[in-house]
Structure 1
Amino acid sequence: MSAFIVDTDEHKMLRESAGKIAGKYGQHYFLERSRAGEKVDELWADLGQAGLLGVHLPEEYGGGGAGMTELLIVIEELAAKGIPLLLTVISPAICGSILAAHGSEQLKASWLPGIADGSKKMAFGLTEPDAGSNSHNVSTTARRDGDGWVISGGKYFISAIDEADAVLIIARDQDFVGTSRSPLSMFVVPTDSPGLTLQPLPTAVVSPDGQFTVFLDEVRVGAEALIGMAGNGLRQVFAGLNPERILAAGISNGIGRFAIAKAVDYARDRKVWSTPIGAHQGVSHPLAESHIAVELARLATYRAAELFDAGEPAAEAANIAKFAAADASLKALDQSIQTHGGNGLSNEYGLAELWFNARMLKTAPVSREMVLNFVAQTSLKLPASY
């Protein structure tokens, strides 16, 4: 554990609980299922039954009534055991947070209890081939049709939708008339809706959370599918995007901790000419530097969660934490692989296969370049570049 992150008694118990469940399955289970293209349903069910997936959701809808800090602890501990689960960020964090903040009573009652106990999963449909970081450029449309809506378009790099019961879709108002961009709205769309089809999107990431292209061809939903106010989707979606950045940082920090712990154990035990390799500064100093970077990223991440839970502006802190954590974890993982020598590339040690997970988090859910744009324009008040 860290000398800097001081847990309350409740947080210690939560961290131990998450770590115990993760340890029950271990990284071998995660990698074995991922390589086979299978899911981690048993782990997910155990996390839900223990109240860990919905720890941040309102108690009246089956959640734990805690905050983003508590969910951060759960997600970081999973990754620290070699189990970086993207779906923990997507379903309970992004979708659960948006529904809790802006959903109707009907939507909350229908979805939050299941999201909290793990019996229901929800994917998040924002990105498109021509609208990655630029949410203003979403081209998927929704038009009013009687009492409901008809949605058409496509989404790209949508995680884990193959195991989701619904997808939260961001769409543009097709019928808007005005001089400005047409407003965006958010809808809960069941994944078995006629007209919704999935196409697998192969990647190098070893994970049970697959990526998909999603096609929506005249998909009809009722009026109850609308989240919050029509046309207010872009503002409402930020109830999920700051948690997304904070918890993505949590996954990175967990990967960093996992990598350093593996390297330290190896450097203590591995001997060359009767001397543990960890006694050599060429090994020990890079690991010490990696540890420092990961601990600083963890401090930034818990500070961002603290601000979010206090209702304070958290966008700057969340973006900085995500940036720092992604860089620190990748450096730590690379150094751990190097410390292991040839063994670092062996499947037995579970390091090389995590590399693409760690590398992905420099690009998603928001790229480091967009974080730098945000900091330059918002924190430093420099002229906008776009």
Structure 2
Amino acid sequence: MTRCLPVNPASPTRSSAQGDDAALHSERHGPPAAWTGVAAAGLATFCVVTTEMLPVGLLLPIADTLGVSVGSGGLLMFVPGILAALCAPLVVVGARGIDRRRILCGLLLLLAGANLASALAPSMPWLLAARVLVGGCIGGVWAVAGGLAGRLVPPASVGLATAVIFGGVAVASVLGVPLGALIGELAGWRSAFGAMAALSAAVLLFAAWALPPLPVAQSVSSRQLLGQLRNPALRRGLFITLFLVAGHFMAYTFVRPVLQSLAGFDQAWIGPLLFAYGVAGIAGNFLAGGAAARRLRATLMAIVLGLLATLSLLPWLGVLRPGAAGLLLLWGLSYGGVSVALQTWVMQAARDAVEAATSLFVGVFNLAIALGALAGGASVDAWGLPAALLIAAACMLAPLAAVGLRGDRP
């Protein structure tokens, strides 16, 4: 059991200034207005994470249209992931006193432009350039939105507001891919990016209307940010995040080739199968959300074991359509709880410095996405899909040990 770090009086997440902001906002605009601001932040995280996930369900048609290999298509996940990992802590440190509403709206405007550029990209280099912009938006929006709950609602409602905001991440992680695949199936992969450009613009207008002015007197300093790395429980949580998320995306980036090439499903089945995965993921998110608050270690252990079983069995049972469909549902159920369980770990490990710890968590999470997509692409091109799935399964052994060992836990 680790001790919490000393209270950081400048922490934007739990500062008295935030409590005053929330109280003033509620007094002027009422509780419904406060929760529309929370909804706007949740929709912003949904937009950026859905944009990040889109290439997973569209990988084969994108590769065919632009004339690149499936493994090279993994760069569409690597590029924004690595940029998001860099931008998340930089935005938190560099934002200083800039109004958080302006930052969030500016990033949503950039996201709409990046999605439009992706829809119009004539070649792979142009598409990768657009994904660079996406990466900056992901890190910035996720890090800024994650610290807004305490600025929008009274202290008693901060937990629920945080769950709503990060619920946008969870829902996008499990539904973004099937929605993109469905739109791509009906109207082409470029239409999927065009639809996300329109949605991002709509959320921008909603956020500009729903969010109050959110100035801050002081942002997190680089010293405070780096100081969180001395928190042993947080370090263990970041270690678990790195290997768990990297192993998942090493395989999940290529879930469409797994379903079509390995299991032999027709193209028409991909959208419904990925939607079923998304529904299972939503169920996993709600199950893990309730369980993690009571038994965090047991919840994470169940998640890791579910992913380990899925990735280990797919090369063998995945050649059969019923086996592949069943394992896909187990995959969705297991991964659906990852975001909420890991965020619970981070918030419990750094109760008095949530914004700083969350920015590190967002950075490591997206770094893991990038590394997983890159390693998966190299493995698929070198040894094929079954070998890549087994390597991804092996990545789950590290978080399994880290969760199971006694020591520094929240």
Asked if these proteins are the same fold (TM beyond 0.5), I'd say no
Shorter-chain TM-score range: 0.3 to 0.5
Higher relative contact order, chain-length normalized (CA < 8 Å, sep 6+): 2
Q: TM-score, normalised by structure 2?
A: 0.33
Larger radius of gyration: 1
Q: TM-score, normalised by structure 1?
A: 0.34
